[in-house]
Structure 1
Amino acid sequence: MSELIQQIVQVLKEQVVQDTVVPRNIRRAAEQAIEVLLDESRDPAVRAADAIAILEEISEDPNMPMHTRTIIWEVLGALEQVK
């Protein structure tokens, strides 16, 4: 697995999934994105595209704390670099 994907997974786990301030639906979506990213049977670019789709869907959730939204946007930017 690429180092970039590992870093993205770590950020999602530490700063979104484990943050109890973040609403459950957003944490669940982050967990889904992590599962997609860790699926080694698929091409990294496909995994990244699927994770982007999941995270973009929740990125505009009005219940998302601002710091979490910023993290999601940073993760989305990093995922766009995956080839």
Structure 2
Amino acid sequence: MVRKKKTEEYEAKIKQALMVLGEVSEDSTTPRNIRRSAKDAMNALQSSEYTPAVKASNAVALLDEILQDPNMPPYTRVKLWNVMSFIEAIKD
């Protein structure tokens, strides 16, 4: 029962993260390389071959790398930090 509840909670967090990443990836005011990284992170989160924790850590690694980009608009950086806070809590 507890396991099922955790899985549902993680799926909700991933869904939330995917929504925000979708916004970032479609924002034409955001540099292309950052939009591409947001799409890559979305793909990592949607991968069916890994557990939720592995998907989350793959996405965090991709986002962590792009957050260093000096060309990132501040509002995009805040959105990506929010995404990371959603998914960093996902554990196996």
Q: What's the TM-score, normalizing by structure 1?
A: 0.94
Q: What do residues 11-36 of structure 1 show as CA deviations (whole Å, max 9, x unaligned)?
A: 1102x011100000000000000001
Q: What do residues 29-78 of structure 1 show as CA deviations (whole Å, max 9, x unaligned)?
A: 00000001001221000000000000000001000000000111111111
1:13 — aligned with what? 22
2:3 — aligned with what? none
- What residue identity is the alignment partner of 2:67? S
Alpha-carbon separation, structure 2, partners of 1:77 and 1:58: 15
Alpha-carbon separation, structure 1, partners of 2:85 and 2:76: 14
Structure 2 residue runs of 5 or longer lacking an equivalent are 1-7
Alpha-carbon separation, structure 1, partners of 2:36 and 2:86: 20
Establish whether residue 48 from structure 1 lines up as the match of residue 56 from structure 2.
yes
Alpha-carbon separation, structure 2, partners of 1:29 and 1:20: 14
Q: 1:3, CA displacement in angstroms? A: 1.3
Alpha-carbon separation, structure 1, partners of 2:16 and 2:82: 12
Q: What's the TM-score, normalizing by structure 2?
A: 0.85
Q: Which one of 6, 27, 39 corresponds to residue 31 of structure 1?
A: 39
* Count of residue pairs the alignment pairs up: 82
Structure 1 residue runs of 5 or longer lacking an equivalent are none
* Identity, % of aligned positions: 44
Considering only CA atoms, is the larger Rg found in Structure 1 or Structure 2? Answer: 2
Q: Which one of 65, 71, 74 corresponds to residue 66 of structure 1?
A: 74
